[in-house]
Amino acid sequence: MQLPLKYAAIPLLTFLLVCMMFALLLRNGVNLIHLSYDACHFLYGLVFPLAFGYLYLPARAKADHIPLRAVIVQIRATAIQDWPRAMARSVVRDWKRGIPWSPWAGAFWVASYAFFNEVIVDPRTNGIPFTSAYSNLVADLLGISVVLVIVHLLPERSRPGLTSA
């Protein structure tokens, strides 16, 4: 989906707000990590897809592809001194189209990292077999599932300006 410029910061600001709340809890003596490490993993799965959703490159339709020869002809037709102005126009055009963001891409990146960390890295570094600490991965995946359900349940009319890519 394409987020218009005025709505593009909402997922990132939500992510930062939850992270600041977590830091405030830790600073004020509530050691959530010690109380429930699985709750921290759930929180990770809940908010990190919001930030990693920006790591999304939408697949373009075949009609949107410009042949390489046409690109080369366009570059040759533009004088070198006009390149900065042409690049600025294209950046402005892209900003007007919107910022690509996808909760599915964020969920993919977070789930991939969680799986790699819990199944491969942690057993090697901590010496704890995955079968003894699988609840961390389950909590990550549960948090990811919750954020996907929340985004899916938001009706289209309450998401002003969002368009599918």
Number of structural domains, the chain? 1
| 17 is a domain residue | yes
In a domain, 165, yes or no: no
For residue 118, tell me if it sits in a domain: yes
What would the two tokens of residue 112 be? Answer: 């991939």
Tens-digit pLDDT profile for residues 43-95: 999 999 999 998 877 666 666 677 889 888 888 888 889 889 988 988 888 77
Q: What confidence tens digit (pLDDT) does each residue in 6-32 have?
A: 888 888 999 999 999 999 988 888 888
pLDDT digits (tens, 9 = 90+) for 116-143: 988 888 888 888 888 888 899 999 999 9
Domain presence at residue 152: yes
Around Cβ 141, how many Cβ atoms within 10 Å?
19
Answer for the pair 143, 43: CB distance below 8 angstroms, yes or no: yes
The reply to whether 102 falls in a domain is: yes
Q: Closest by alpha carbon to 48, among 98, 105, 95, 97?
A: 105
164 occurs within a structural domain: no
Domain that includes residue 135, residue range: 2-158
